[in-house]
Amino acid sequence: MFFTSRRPRPFHHTFIYYDERRERLRQLEEHAREELAAEGQLPKEGRAAECSTDDDAEALRRFRPEVLRGTFLSADSRVRRRRPGLFSGHLLLIVLILLCVVLFVLML
């Protein structure tokens, strides 16, 4: 207790844009391709790779950034900007000035 040094907190990082399901599917596909290539039924970089590059090229041609704009920001709660409240900043100052003016007029 007196002569022991405290251990630092362990580092724990959670990814924001990480999809575990997609990663597991990709690993399963890769594992299945390796098994088929080992058995000799499918070449290492065969027809499936060509189809995927054609599909990727077609997807890039059809890509429209305005569809995705703002989707990542709305998905993450830490990135959202706070909306100003009703009585915050300038509006509060204006209300206080108007209140002072009304009180001044009533005092006369």
Look up residue 16 and give its DSSP letter: S
pLDDT at residue 33, rounded to an integer: 86
CA distance 18 to 75: 12
pLDDT digits (tens, 9 = 90+) for 53-92: 677 777 777 777 776 666 666 666 666 666 656 656 788 8
pLDDT at residue 47, rounded to an integer: 47
CA distance 49 to 52: 5
Q: Is the pLDDT of residue 97 over 90?
A: yes
Q: Is the pLDDT of residue 100 over 60?
A: yes
- Where do runs of H (alpha helix) occur along 1-108? 20-39, 47-62, 65-68, 71-75, 90-107
The arithmetic mean of pLDDT across residues 22-28, rounded, is 90
